[in-house]
Amino acid sequence: MGDDIQLDDDCIFCKIIRGEIPSFKVFEDDASLAFMDINPAAPGHCLVIPKHHAENIFVTPPHASAAAMATISKVAPAVERAVQPGGINIVQANGPAAAQSVFHTHFHIIPRHLDDNLLMNWGLNPGDMDEIGAVAEKIKAELD
Ligand code: AMP
Ligand code: ZN
């Protein structure tokens, strides 16, 4: 690992990166790691993490997020070929209301099957265009 890799002594995912606790690693490069989730939502459920300790996506440096995304681009098609599900969700949680339980930024690769009843589908319910436009303006103002 390079000198620019920042890890945390107490973080469970940093311990996996350092090999201090066991994991089913499926892919690793200098800046990211993919390993199996031990509480899988479906067979093939794995996690991709940057080798940079940061609590959530808000404070993860873009280069670390980009490294994880590049690995997702490699691993998700491999999961697709290996498991042949009906689809795959890439999920990333930030904060308790988003059901984040490990505070090292990570991306779930979750194989999906029709009628698997995973509660992740918010459906296609048309929104209120005025409300959507108003929130878009608020977000854009934060990006100025
Ligand atoms: P989240 O709820 O989005 O923070 O997801 C954290 C995920 O990490 C959960 O799906 C857990 O099952 C998974 N997890 C926690 N500890 C481990 C571990 N030691 N090895 C593999 N996966 C883990
Ligand atoms: Zn960590």
Q: Tell me the per-residue pLDDT of 54-107, one tens digit each, with 9 for 90 and over.
A: 999 999 999 999 999 999 999 999 999 999 999 999 999 999 999 899 999 999
Q: Is 101 in the pocket of ligand 1 (CB under 6 A)?
A: yes
Residue 87 lies in a domain: yes
Q: Is 100 in the pocket of ligand 1 (CB under 6 A)?
A: yes
Residue 39 lies in a domain: yes
- How far is residue 105 from each of residues 12, 51, 61, 70, 81, measured CA to CA in Å? 12, 10, 11, 15, 26
Distance 74 CA to ligand 1 centre (A): 20
From 45, 53, 104, 106, the catalytic residue: 106
Residue with more model confidence, 140 or 88: 88
Does the active-site annotation cover 106?
A: yes
Q: Is 105 in the pocket of ligand 1 (CB under 6 A)?
A: no
Residue 128 lies in a domain: yes
Q: Which of 24, 26, 47 to mutate to test the pocket of ligand 1 (most atoms within 8 A of CB)?
A: 47
Which residues span the domain enclosing 69? Answer: 12-143
Distance 38 CA to ligand 1 centre (A): 7
Residue 2 lies in a domain: no
Question: Alpha-carbon distance 56 to 105, whole Å?
Answer: 5
Q: Is 96 in the pocket of ligand 1 (CB under 6 A)?
A: no
Residue 3 lies in a domain: no
Q: What is the pTM of this model?
A: 0.90
CATH number reported for the structural domain that contains residue 74 in this entry: 3.30.428.10
Residue with more model confidence, 27 or 120: 27
Residue 5 lies in a domain: no
pLDDT by residue (tens digit) across 17-63? 999 999 999 999 999 999 999 988 889 999 999 999 999 999 999 99
